[in-house]
Amino acid sequence: MTDLFSPYSIGNLTLKNRVLMAPMTRSMSPKNVPNDDVVEYYRRRAEGGVGLIITEGACVGHKAASGYPNVPFVAGNEALAGWKKVVDAVHAEGGKIAPQLWHVGGIRKPGVEPGGDLPGYSPSGMAFPGKVTGHTMTQKDIDDVVEAFAQSAADAEKIGFDAIEIHGAHGYLLDQFFWEGTNQRDDTYGGSLENRTRFACEIVQAIRAKVSADLPIIFRFSQWKQQDYTARLAETPEELGAFLGFLVNAGVDIFHCSQRRFWEPEFQGSDLNLAGWTKKLTGKDVITVGSVSLNADFLPEGGDKTFKDGEIASLDDLINMLNNNEFDLVAVGRALIANPDWANRVQQGQLDTLQAFNKTMLASLNSA
């Protein structure tokens, strides 16, 4: 376990270990403001030994950013004051924290507050390939969203967040631009891979222009989409390298490589997972994630989006991959809901005391 609990540094960020809390939507911030329950939820994971907490998806200040009730925003005085309490509590326990900045795009349905009757905003009015259900973004819409991400990042740094993560995965807005199935534009944001990456690159560049030069920017991406688990942005390492290269040039410092099962190879002919290939192709630091410490991935097949139960599983493969320098950091999800002190227990060799994840634990932020 030595490497998992070794210090890590990049830019102005120094972590006591390589254990991260993965972002997990909880929808328990009334009126989109983190409350005392949210403060305690994150404080307990910092107390439990996590080096860096990446928050649940937190919406940027755009009128159509939210797609779910009671998700927090990183915009507006009340929400920022709520997050300041979270940040201070995490820091008091010796942890570090980054917000995951989020816009759901076409996934939004009218009626979700804030936003009222606004439809989903997306590159071609689609949340699913071939089905126009929302608003096709204009150039002004694109510019407004870029500015919203940049402003939320700047506000996050001002209240003490230690890094910024951009949510570019799982079929939400940025991923809808990446994915040919939902991006049918014929302007500079559609068509070629470079064009489909342009929107995300503009967001990265705008954030970098508004935050400190040494504040790390993390970018989360995935091959799979919630709309289609089999979807892929890149069929080959060459395609993946081209996609990632545009984001590297824009200023991404760390890639957060989302897989449903971290142990699965990404391409035939190699044992490297998505994080391993990303590190090899870019030379950047990477985070692996995907059912760490559990024996089952987190989403069932079909329409049910409730996190699946999972029994505690061996960490041997994870540790071997980390020791082989296939990735730099490890994000833990459901196992940290079940075990707020997961990091401390693992470091102390108490794996046999970890409890399984049961989806009934989602009923409360502090049920475990």
Q: What is d(CA 254, CA 162) in angstroms, rounded to the nearest whole number?
A: 13
Q: What is the DSSP letter of 314?
A: -
Cα(204)–Cα(217) distance, integer angstroms: 8
Task: Check residue 105 and give its pLDDT.
Answer: 98
C-alpha gyration radius of the chain: 19
Judge contact between 51 and 57, C-beta under 8 A: no
271 three-state secondary structure = coil
Residue 165 and residue 256: Cα distance in Å, rounded? 9
Choose among 128, 134, 55, 44: nearest CA to 93.
44
Question: Position 324: which residue type?
Answer: N
What is the per-residue pLDDT for 204? 98
What SS3 class is residue 144? Answer: helix
pLDDT grade, residue 301 (50/70/90)? low
User: Which tens digits make up the pLDDT trace of 251-260?
Assistant: 999 999 999 9
Residue 135: pLDDT band (50, 70, 90) is very high
- Calpha distance 40→165 (Å, rounded): 21
> What is the structure's pLDDT at 302?
53
- Paired tokens of 47: 């107390």
DSSP lists the bridge partners of residue 257 as 221, 288
Closest CA to 50 of 93, 11, 88, 9: 93
pLDDT at residue 77, rounded to an integer:
98
For residue 300, pLDDT beyond 60: no
Domain residue extents for the chain: 8-363
Segment 179-198, tens digit of pLDDT: 999 999 999 999 999 999 99
Which residue of the set 41, 42, 172, 189 is catalytic? 172
- Of 239, 218, 225, 198, which is closest to residue 299 (Cα–Cα)? 225
Residue type, 212: S
Q: How far apart are CA 288 and CA 3, in angstroms?
A: 14
Q: Report which of residues 220 and 308 the model is more confident about.
A: 220
In this prediction, residue 297 carries a pLDDT of 72
Q: Is 229 a catalytic residue?
A: no
- Range of lowest pLDDT (2-6, 142-146, 225-229): 225-229
- Considering the chain, what is the average pLDDT of its residues? 96
Q: What is the mean pLDDT of residues 282-291?
A: 97
> 197 versus 295: which is more confidently predicted?
197
List, for residues 138-151, the tens digit of each pLDDT value.
999 999 999 999 99
Please report how many Cα atoms fall inside a 13 Å half-sphere around the Cα of residue 194, on the Cβ side. 2
Provide mean pLDDT across the span 73-82: 98
pLDDT tens digit string along 42-57? Answer: 999 999 999 999 999 9
DSSP for 165-180, please give it: EEE--BTSHHHHHH-T
The whole-angstrom distance between residue 24's C-alpha and the CA centroid of its chain comes to: 8
- pLDDT at position 299 over 80: no
Report, as an integer, the average pLDDT of 330-335: 97
What's the pLDDT at 367? 76
Assess whether pLDDT exceeds 70 at residue 305: no
Model confidence pLDDT, tens digit, residues 149-182: 999 999 999 999 999 999 999 999 999 999 999 9
Domain covering 8-363, topology: TIM Barrel (3.20.20)
- C-alpha to C-alpha distance for 152 and 99, rounded to whole angstroms: 9
Mean pLDDT, range 231-249, rounded to an integer: 97
Q: Which of 292, 295, 314, 311 is nearest to 358 (CA)?
A: 311
The arithmetic mean of pLDDT across residues 214-233, rounded, is 96
Mean pLDDT along residues 305-309:
71
Residue 279 has pLDDT above 60, yes or no: yes
Mean pLDDT (whole number) for 20-42: 97
Query: Could you say which DSSP state residue 18 is in?
Result: S
Looking at the predicted structure, is the pLDDT value of residue 368 above 90?
no
More confident call, 300 vs 164:
164
Count of other CB atoms within 10 angstroms of residue 123: 26
Alpha carbon distance 208, 11 (integer Å): 13
